[in-house]
Amino acid sequence: MYINLSGLNVLVTGASRGIGKAIASKLAEAGATIAVHYNKNMREAENLAHVLGNESRAFQADLSQPDDAANLFDRVILEMGSIEILVNNAGVAIPADIDAKESDWINSWNTNIQVNLTSSGILCKKIIEHFLKRNSAGRIINISSRAAFRGDTAEYMAYAASKAGLVALTRTIARAYGKQGIKAFNIAPGFVKTDMAIGIMEKYGTEHASSDIALERMTEPKDIAPLVTFLASGMADHATGSTIDVNAGSYVH
């Protein structure tokens, strides 16, 4: 199947490594110009933007800070002129035991919600306004998690809650703005072999991550990127509002 995204600008958050890097690479392979968002990995992001070509560029923002999501969007628009597709991929999974000091538990909760839900929500708001102002169609692809549906271990309560909120946000956008040409999708991975999953696997062991999957190997970023590219193409627009599970059969709903 040939997908041509030439002439389209895509903002991919958390694009300097892991799932985001794989997504950005696949979209650029299809011809898109990528706004490569990063927080701390400047060298990796700038190198990736150079490798991707198509006039792709790197943009820094700390999405744990209240104003950074809106500022990121405005900078991308200023430098690139428009955004046709938003991929909210950036995320954190900060654990907190239930018996932790209350202030520490609240800090963990707030950071998970800020990065995974609030900043994603702000970027969704900004791009919806952008689409409506231009009277143009567009697509939003949010990377949620199976944890939004089946829950998670106790110390990742905030992570699961943030991802469930992202699912509801996506469904609401799809229902509210479909007639204006705005489509929104969720992709819900399980464990993916990335740096973010290392801490969990170190604590619980690789068996914890692989014991309940139906396939022979854990999901990798390369398994998610083609699906994002397909959704970005417009060939699945009538699936707007839907959630697509990519978790090696570990949770099916």
In sequence order, what DSSP letters do the residues of 5-53 get, joined into one string? Answer: -TT-EEEETT-SSHHHHHHHHHHHHTT-EEEEEESS-HHHHHHHHHHH-
Residue indicated by tokens 């970023």: 221
Identity of the amino acid at 97: D
Known catalytic membership, residue 2: no
The CA distances from residue 128 to 54, 125, 154, 243, in Å, are: 24, 5, 35, 20
**Which of 38, 159, 204, 251 is the catalytic position?**
159
Q: In this structure, how many other beta carbons lie within 10 angstroms of the beta carbon of residue 48?
A: 23
- The angle formed by the CA atoms of residues 72, 115 and 110, to the nearest 5 degrees, is 135
Positions marked active-site? 159
